[in-house]
Amino acid sequence: MTGTPQLSALRVPAIAACLLLVAAIAPSCSKNQGERVAIVGDSLVTFDEADLRAEMGDDFDLKVSGNFGKQVLGAIPPAEVVSTTDAAQLIVNLGTNDVRAGTPVEQSMAALSALIGLYPKARCIHLVNINEHMVDGTTGQVSTDAARRFNDALEQLVGTDDRLGVIDWNAEVEDTLEGEPPTSTLTTDSVHLTKEGNEVLNGLYGKAVRSC
């Protein structure tokens, strides 16, 4: 019986050495490495694509479809094209233009459900909520109420499919509000992003896909 503990004690350093060797050989190993991720959105996903690829490009095969000025319905055709790549994960950042255009939230959610339906093989689908503190540059009108209705409906949609989750962009916005009416320092005009805003949003993307 006394020999067994001694043998175990000898094994511990050897095991530790093996683990260190594995870490040295493959320090960047990731369970998601090489996984294809589709990103479908409006202009907010394209302003700093270089930073986006710096954030995730080494670990993921990105397929990005940024559609300037598009509402959810208008982004369905390009999303269908991207869906042919059989992405394992999907990020959707749409809805800002729906709210700015006054599109009924029910119409936006129906279009979003149709878009999600194009990705039946995706393991995780991440829906980015929208900034609730946008201000119309011409009229000065704030879109808080409409944006909150959109985000509330988004949360309800997430509850219909276990693959769905929310990337909480609005929380980052609310942590950086200044002025009256309050707008985020992560935006240039309460809508489009600064360089820092892009980096923060891309970091949220990275965190979401790595947690899938």
Say what the pLDDT of residue 58 is. Answer: 75
Residue 116 contacts residue 99 (beta carbons within 8 Å):
no
pLDDT tens digits along 78-104: 999 999 999 999 999 999 999 999 999
Domain ranges of the chain: 31-210
- State mean pLDDT over 198-212: 94
CATH number for region 31-210:
3.40.50.1110
DSSP label at residue 187:
B
Q: How far is CA 26 from CA 13, 22, 154, in A?
A: 20, 6, 39
Q: Taking the CA of residue 114 as centre, how many other CA atoms within 13 Å lie in the half-sphere pointing to its CB?
A: 14
- Comparing CA positions, the residue from 112, 79, 114, 90 lying closest to residue 38 is 90
Query: Rounded to two decimals, what is the model's pTM?
Result: 0.83
pLDDT tens digits along 97-155: 999 999 999 999 999 999 999 999 999 999 999 999 999 988 889 999 999 999 999 99
DSSP label at residue 142:
B
Say what the pLDDT of residue 33 is. Answer: 61
Residue 65 contacts residue 79 (beta carbons within 8 Å):
yes
